[in-house]
Amino acid sequence: MAFAENRRAAREILNLADRFQAAWARSDQIFATVKPQALLSKPIAYRHPFIFYIGHLPAFAWNQICAGVLHWPSINARFDEIFSRGIDPDVDSGACHTHPEVPENWPSLAEVLRYRDRVRAAVLDSFEAVYACGADDVMAENGRVFQMALEHEYMHQETLLYMNHALADAMKIRPRGLCDYRFEPAPARRAITVPRGPARLGADFAELVFGWDNEFPALEVDVAEFAIDSLPVTNQEYLEFVRAGGYDEPRLWQPSDWAWRCESGAAHPQFWQTDHGEWFYRTVFDRLPLKAVGSWPVYASLAEARAFAAWRGARLPTEAEFHRAAYGSLREIAVPAGANLDFANWSPVPAGFAGEGAGARGVYDLVGNGWEWTASEFRGFPGFEAYLTNYREYSADFFDGKHFVLKGGSWATEAALARPSFRNWYQARYPYVFAKFRCVETN
């Protein structure tokens, strides 16, 4: 066909094949850290067991690419359905909204792996056919559906590591070649004044090869002057809050956050442990003395972050303030050199460690080393359109006032997801995310 003779298109296909193979290899590496007997376990109650995700990643690719765009006949319609969609966790009610297609018993690992491998082969065979659809299908245009499938895989790699982090140590297999941890002291925290000016959120549709529906359209916001911490809050700083009785002081917590704290019994971040009066920090594969990682950013829920900020007499930044501090009104932003992203480390590094990771204003770690909580509810920008043809509920289902925007990315975030317009979101009292925070004050 003429398309196959086009050199540029051929290069795009080769590049896509390489990117899918690399994404699958990383997913397989992550699944390989879970012992086979743990694949049916649910270390996070609000998620399906690991076996679901082994099937979900290929099912999503099939349902969006091969079925959604190309309308190919199914290779396993039952698996397409039962692995189509995960749990929507509702921490506030303690409910897990499963979907009717979820089976009482999951298929065997061998069956799921056969399905995975057949779907992967089909995806590799689909490139020319999808590109041949051209502009007749918005998801086929410029290979947009392929970028969607890849980014979906990247996001779930991080979700799987949240689950792996919560898994009992005896059920894990430590991968080879992990980087050594870094324990340098963090630089002194400073308040950085950000003058009043515009912040550009989101993107115009034509700017991105692919973007999720909540990234569009671009929105420019006028942001008043504010002061923002040069560093995210560290474990050592947060320990001071804990020792000062911050978890026992209801005036510091929003009423719904305080109710969660009392009901859950939370007395410290999910990533911390106590043992005979000593504090420890759990990485995905190790337990370290908390004093050794005092310079690392603390990972906490939004509820805990809001309480700490109130203790400091401060608040959390809005999404617009984050953008103003990190990007201003610029359109083209490169990922900061040295940012702790893309599995450069399998853990946080000391706050402010990567000097190149500071923004132009001298604010460190806005991108990388942990997602950054904002005070902004997750909602669509004016003019929002659910354009994803076979996934129109992707964002809109979460415009419920319970979910809040996170920005920037963690060490387990693929670099492609660190673009300025990308928006992550979680509920305020969901404690499993590799998420940090910093304080701001209005000048």
Going from the C-alpha of 24 to that of each of 86, 119, 425, the distances in angstroms are 19, 12, 24
CATH number, domain of 360, equals 3.90.1580.10
State yes or no: pLDDT of 397 exceeds 60.
yes
Helix (H) or strand (E) holding 162: helix 144-166
Q: Are residues 198 and 90 part of one domain?
A: no
Q: Are residues 205 and 98 part of one domain?
A: no
Q: Which residues lie across from 198 on neighbouring strands?
A: 222
Q: Are residues 146 and 198 part of one domain?
A: no
The residue segments making up the domain with residue 197 are 191-235+295-442
CB 407 within 8 A of CB 424: yes
Domain assignment present for 289: no
Average pLDDT over residues 361-381: 94
Q: What's the rounded Cα separation, in Å, for the pair 443 and 4?
A: 59
Q: Are residues 161 and 74 part of one domain?
A: yes
Q: Are residues 314 and 368 part of one domain?
A: yes
Among the candidates 137, 171, 205, a domain finishes at: 171
Domain count, the chain: 2
Q: Are residues 119 and 214 part of one domain?
A: no
User: How much is the pLDDT for 192?
Assistant: 95
Could you write out the three-class secondary structure of 287-311? EEEHHHHCCCECCCCHHHHHHHHHH
Among the candidates 140, 171, 202, a domain finishes at: 171
Domain assignment present for 368: yes
Q: Are residues 228 and 124 part of one domain?
A: no
Domain assignment present for 288: no
Domain assignment present for 255: no
Average pLDDT over residues 295-319: 98
358 vs 318, more confident: 318
Q: Are residues 367 and 227 part of one domain?
A: yes
CATH number, domain of 30, equals 1.20.120.450
State yes or no: pLDDT of 244 exceeds 60.
yes
Among the candidates 171, 201, 222, a domain finishes at: 171
Confidence of residue 174 (pLDDT cuts 50, 70, 90): very high
306 vs 91, more confident: 306
Average pLDDT over residues 398-415: 96
Q: What is the pTM of this model?
A: 0.94
Judged on CB neighbours under 10 Å (0-12, 13-18, 19+), 8 is exposed
Average pLDDT over residues 254-268: 97
Q: Are residues 195 and 142 part of one domain?
A: no
Q: Are residues 146 and 41 part of one domain?
A: yes
Domain assignment present for 224: yes
Residue recorded with tokens 């590109």: 131
Domain assignment present for 334: yes
Q: Are residues 208 and 123 part of one domain?
A: no
